[in-house]
Amino acid sequence: MSLAVSVLKPLVDLVLPPRCPGCGVLVQGDLQFCGDCWGKLRFISDPACASCGKPFADGRDDDLVCAECLAKPPQHDGIKAAVLYDDLSRSIVLRLKHGGKIGLARLVARHLERHLPADGSDIVFVPVPLHRWRLWQRGFNQSILIARALAARRGWPVETDVLRRVRATPPLKGMTRKQRAIAVRGVFAIPASRRALIAGRHVLLVDDVYTTGATANACVRLLKQAGAARVTIFCWARVLREGDEADTP
C-alpha cells in the first residue's frame, strides 16, 4: 500500500465505511462479509466429482466421477466455482453486473484463488465475452474484471480478445438445456490471428455464473478446436438444480 493510500484510507473509511457485500451492514474491512452472510454462503469444496467439480453429499474417493459425467464425459477439464448459486450469491452477481459495484470482482477473485493451479507456466485467462451492444450498455464486462483480478493475484496473462461474441443471444432464462444449446450456436468465434495465444495452453475460462453450461461449453469447444490443451471453467457461483436459473442477462 502506498503512503498516500495509507494516509487517506482512514478518512475514506470514515466517510464511506466498508459494508458487507451481501446485506450492506457495516463491517471491519473492504469486501468482507458480515458474520450472518458468511454463515449463509455455501462454499464448494471436496469431496467433489473429479470431472466436473460437482460436490458430493458425503465423503468419497478423490478420483470418483459423478454419474452424469460417466454417462456423457464433458469437453471441459473441470469446473471451479467458489460457491453454490442461491439468493445470496445471486445478489453479489446483480450488484456487480447491474449495480456498478465493480470492486466485487476482487471479492470473487479472492474466493476463487484457492482453486488456481500451483503451476501457472502454461496458464492463460480467457473471459467469456459480451456482445458489443451489451458491453456498450453496461460499460464493462464482469468476466474481464474477474479474470484480471484473478490474474493480478498470480501475474498470469489475460487475453480479452481471443473469444469474440459475434451474435447477440436472447435471454436464456426459462429455456431448457437443449434450447440454450441451440441459442448459443454460432454465437462465439476465435479469429485465426488469435489462436497462437492459446495453442498448447491451459485456458482458464472465466464467467460469473455457470447454469446449464450451454454458454461455457460453446466456448470450450471453440477453444479446444483452436488448439487449447486444456480448458477449465472458473466462475463465482454454479447452479446445481434444474430451475435454479441465473436470471441476469
One digit per residue, the tens of pLDDT, for the chain of length 249 reads: 444 444 444 444 445 789 999 999 999 999 999 999 999 999 998 788 888 888 887 665 667 888 889 999 999 999 999 999 999 999 999 999 998 899 999 999 999 999 999 999 999 999 999 999 889 989 999 999 999 999 999 999 999 999 999 988 777 777 777 888 888 888 999 999 999 999 999 999 999 999 888 999 999 999 999 999 999 999 999 998 654 455 444
pLDDT value, residue 62:
64
The DSSP letter of residue 196 is G
49 membership: H or E segment, kind and range: none
SS3 at position 79: strand
Task: Give the CA count within 13 Å in the CB-facing half-sphere of 113.
Answer: 15
Count Cβ atoms below 10 Å from residue 44 Cβ, excluding itself. Answer: 19
Sign of CA dihedral 110, 114, 120, 126: negative
Domain topology for 44-238: Rossmann fold (3.40.50)
- Nearest-angstrom CA–CA distance, 30 and 51: 35
The pLDDT, as a whole number, for residue 21 is 94
User: What pLDDT does 242 receive?
Assistant: 55
* Residue 235, beta-bridge partner list: 81, 207
Give SS3 for 126.
strand
DSSP-assigned beta bridge partners for residue 165: 188
Alpha-carbon distance values, 45 to 65, 149, 230 (Å): 15, 21, 22
φ, ψ (nearest 5 deg) of residue 62? -60, -30
pLDDT for 60 equals 59
CB-hemisphere CA count at 13 Å for 174?
3
d(CA 64, CA 67): 10
The answer to whether 126 touches 198, Cβ cutoff 8 Å, is yes
- Indicate the domain borders of the chain: 1-40, 44-238
